[in-house]
Chain A
């Protein structure tokens, strides 16, 4: 990712998708990774009354200074895991920022300009390579870290391990590394 991705001042990240996709967990993992790095961190969440299927959004701000307003209006990193989330939030991406989406679930359109688009098949890869669609959010977190360099990958992988029950740790670690690999391959134009 370009140097523009590491501006002075706070780094604002948004995660969006549908209830059940693990949006809130994805945000919590990034927030926890940033906390372990000694950063100021604020994370907020917003979701509808339905546990599954409704709109879900979470935001994380990472800063070296005190964070006042806790929400994100124009994210520098904008991750969309559903078409509905893309339609609602993609255009908010800050100019020069990164719009990351699940290419198997989202059909990008031309309403988004001035930012880097990166579509990767998080859900399909989770299903085909790990046999578990449910870890698509962790695949996305891995890709987000690889593309943006927002936090050291090992700090975030540790946060993944800390956040999930013991019997799912290996699966989630693999999902995280799969996400990093997908992003690296897309960047380098290679295919595994």
Chain B
């Protein structure tokens, strides 16, 4: 029997997804438009034996999340642009020390205090490159309330599997939106548990992760001897070593490749009406909803328009974009920033198709009417009965 639909807000769905994924620790500092995630978890976590703590700021919040994860508890924090900026240093620490954790950034207009209550997609590049140094990251973009739930579970799974921070790029529209949803039953979605290395604690120094066998991180306090540092370290012993370039190179390349080597397994893209498309819309998050309406409108009038919607924004879905570029003559990239992902699309398209960027930074969702105008320009002789 299917459960009855419930009316759920995007932010509430993130919180429920975190609980379902087994997260039992949240540290954060309230900020619009993410606050409902903290509010919901403040109530829900104690009910399932978890801990909620409101920290003095966002830097302390992500630090507490790293600490809790090192102690063996799946952990998350939630914030918006200004707080996400403050968290960047510790996100780098989590990358370097390979600490699984989830950071939810409910994007609002920026920079600085910006448009606190209005949606934006201005943090998509910050999610990739906000912390310094060579690193890789995984970022997921929900475009519905149901995805706020399912992608939060997936974010935890990926963070455990690849021992990395995973960022959920929601926005003020998706986060505050309410939808009637039927949540999956417990057990319906896979939940990756934190494992322990498949060896005796005294042999731990002799085993080392490689790209095809990323060992789980043993919790602090277990019989395994664990070294945690932000310095460059020897991947076998975990001890800091900044004297040997080959050690630094091995670690630097490993931190990048442990994600990129697996991107076929990590990256998820939803395609709609792409089989014979001549024009593709590349849209993510809340904007993808407007794009979907436009594809239906165009198809109803015989215009071959399709949608490529990245669910995983980082690592970038290069293969899907290359495939699209070989087929369509134009790719339209509407986004609530100015050209941030369209540059990335252009790089992957590599001149094989025209890339049309369209940006809005006024805190308003790009409408179907705006995208329709862009589509019409690409069909010179089409008879548009319904505008």
Contacts and interface: CB of A to CB of B under 8 A. Distances in A.
Q: B7, B32, B290, B368 — which one has the most chain A CB atoms within 10 A of its CB?
A: B7
B178 interface: yes
A114 interface: no
Most chain B C-beta atoms within 10 Å of own C-beta, residue among A44, A46, A49, A70 = A70
A68 B367 contact: no
Interface string B1-18: 000011100000000000
Contact of B179 (A28, A41, A48): A41
A32 interface: yes
Given A38-B5, A48-B117, A70 B180 contact: no
B83 interface: no
Nearest to B118: A46
B117 to A, nearest CB: 6
A30 B292 CA distance: 25
Interface string A8-36: 00000000000000000000100110110
Contacts of B117: 46-49
Given A40-B180, A41-B178, A42-B178, A70 B173 contact: yes
A31 B5 CA distance: 12
A71 B367 contact: yes
Given A28-B7, A48-B117, A68 B296 contact: yes
A73 B367 contact: yes
Contacts of A67: 179
Interface in B160-183: 173, 176-180
A82 interface: no
A42 B177 CA distance: 7
Contacts of B179: 41-43, 67
Given A46-B117, A69-B293, A70-B289, A35 B177 contact: no
A41 B116 contact: no
Nearest to B113: A49
Interface in A32-64: 32, 34-35, 38-49
A154 to B, nearest CB: 17
Contacts of A48: 117
B180 A44 contact: no
A29 to B, nearest CB: 10
Nearest to A59: B177
| Chain A: interface size category | 20 to 34
Nearest to A41: B180
A14 B178 CA distance: 14
Contacts of A70: 173, 177, 286, 289, 365
A69 B176 contact: no
A32 B292 contact: no
Contacts of A39: 180
Contacts of B173: 44, 70
A34 B180 contact: yes
Contacts of A73: 367, 369
B185 to A, nearest CB: 19
Interface string B98-135: 00000000000000000011100000000000000000
Contacts of B290: 68-69
A38 B7 CA distance: 11
A70 B176 CA distance: 11
B5 A45 contact: no
B7 A32 contact: yes
A69 B177 contact: no
B296 A69 contact: no
Nearest to A73: B367
Contacts of A47: 117
A32 B116 CA distance: 27
A139 B4 CA distance: 28
B306 to A, nearest CB: 15
A52 B173 CA distance: 20
Contacts of B369: 73
Interface string B260-299: 0000000000000000000000000010011011001000
A26 to B, nearest CB: 13
B178 A43 contact: yes
A47 B363 CA distance: 11
B358 to A, nearest CB: 16
Interface in B358-376: 365, 367-369
Given A68-B292, A73-B367, 6 more contacts: A38-B5, A41-B7, A45-B177, A48-B117, A69-B368, A71-B367
12 contacts: A32-B7, A39-B180, A41-B179, A46-B118, A68-B289, A68-B290, A68-B292, A68-B293, A68-B296, A69-B368, A70-B289, A73-B369
- Ranked 8 nearest A-B pairs via Cβ: A68-B293, A41-B180, A35-B180, A43-B178, A35-B7, A68-B292, A69-B293, A32-B7
Interface of B: 5-7, 32, 116-118, 173, 176-180, 286, 289-290, 292-293, 296, 365, 367-369
